[in-house]
Structure 1
Amino acid sequence: MANVVDIVTDLVNPILDELTFELVDIEYVKEGKNWFLRVFIDKEGGIDINECALVSEKLGEKLDTVEPDPIPQAYFLEVSSPGAERPLKKEADYEQAIGEYINISFYQAVNGEKQYQGFLEKLDKETLTLRVKIKTQEKTMEFERKNIAKARLAIQF
């Protein structure tokens, strides 16, 4: 049987295509004693609460019709915007983030650090180049993409 995220992806994509929204991410996680199915969506100019509610309603209806039930335990369905610190998941996300301030974290420390923040200067299939500020100096650093666990847009303070 396919996992919950795959099933929900297949169910939500036609809804989002019809509305010209983009699927950013799906999480199915247990927090405490509760399960949460979180669907993050976006569109050019941003998503509003009414659009999230519309997708939630349509997806909820579809989930209720799937047999056998892909999520037999009780769960909370949350549909929302990815927010200002949107995750970078797909190649297109990375390409759109060139020139933007991002945060990357690693599976294992690189140069003694588990994460870096800086401006994404360039990327290719194997590497990603960030312009980071270390103390008072700006430095350009290149990282192997295979070592990156997570990447997201970041807010610069």
Structure 2
Amino acid sequence: MQDSQKEPRLVVETGLDLRVAEIIEPTLDAMDFRLVRVRLLNQNGLTLQIMCERNDGTMTVQDCEAVSTAVSPVLDVDDPIDKAYHLEVSSPGIDRPMVRKSDFVRWSGHLVKCETSVLLDGRKRFRGKIVETDENGFTLERDQPAYGEEARVTIPYSALAEGKLILTDDLIRDALRADKLAKAQAANQNGEDDE
């Protein structure tokens, strides 16, 4: 697998959201964070939501503060948004958007809902468990196929318009386990660096 930090996103923004992403991504890369998503929302006046994570999938409150402190001046210089806005930096959360091939590999075995940009099997919306991934796409085992539909559907990454994990007890358990493991590995790494 390629360096996950440099792995391109399958789902990218358009318009002003894309412009903001292009402005902040070099700063995030330099800090060893991966951009997940940028959204300009009409909430609380105007809110610029930046969702990102470390390469190991973790994101602490301190990480959010560090990213916010780093991207604010970059956005002030480029000034892509011509109105006052609130900056909100967050982790992708447990029921995260699926934006890279590695997301589908990492969360294989979990429920996802997704939308495609083209019709597949006569539809664009799918929901099911990720049962297989390869370089070109992923296969879902549908949890409630309609009469006459195949239980499995393979979705090419090139057709993916949007994807998101569905919150389940299994997902919460696995996400907490992965977070605990990542924190232990980071603590071990820091301990080795101190020696």
Instruction: Quickly name the TM-score band, shorter chain normalised.
Output: 0.7 to 0.9
Whether the 8 Å CA contact 2:108–2:129 is kept in 1: the answer is no
Residues 17-28 of structure 1 aligned to structure 2 (within 5 Å) = 17-28=29-40
Q: 1:76 aligns with which of 82, 86, 94?
A: 86
- Give the CA deviation at 1:49: 0.8
Q: 2:130 aligns with which of 101, 119, 126?
A: 119
Q: 1:49 aligns with which of 40, 61, 68?
A: 61
RMSD: 3.1
Gaps of 5+ in 1: none
Question: Which TM-score applies when normalising by structure 2?
Answer: 0.62
Partner of 2:74: 62
Partner of 2:139: 129
**Deviations 1:84-136 (CA, angstroms, capped at 9, x unpaired):** 011112333333333333222457796789441323323453x531123349x
Q: Distance in 2 between matches of 1:60 and 1:97?
A: 32
- Give the CA deviation at 1:153: 1.9
Counterpart residue identity of residue 92, structure 2: P
Q: Distance in 1 between matches of 2:25 and 2:123?
A: 40
Q: Distance in 2 between matches of 1:119 and 1:6?
A: 28
Question: Which TM-score applies when normalising by structure 1?
Answer: 0.74
**Deviations 1:29-54 (CA, angstroms, capped at 9, x unpaired):** 324x7222111011115101111011
- Structure ranking higher in helix proportion: 2
Whether the 8 Å CA contact 1:104–1:117 is kept in 2: the answer is no
Cα separation, partners in 2 of 1:52 and 1:101, compared to 1, 3 Å: same
Q: 1:95 aligns with which of 105, 118, 122?
A: 105
Gaps of 5+ in 2: 1-13, 170-195
Counterpart residue identity of residue 141, structure 1: R
Cα separation, partners in 2 of 1:156 and 1:113, compared to 1, 3 Å: farther
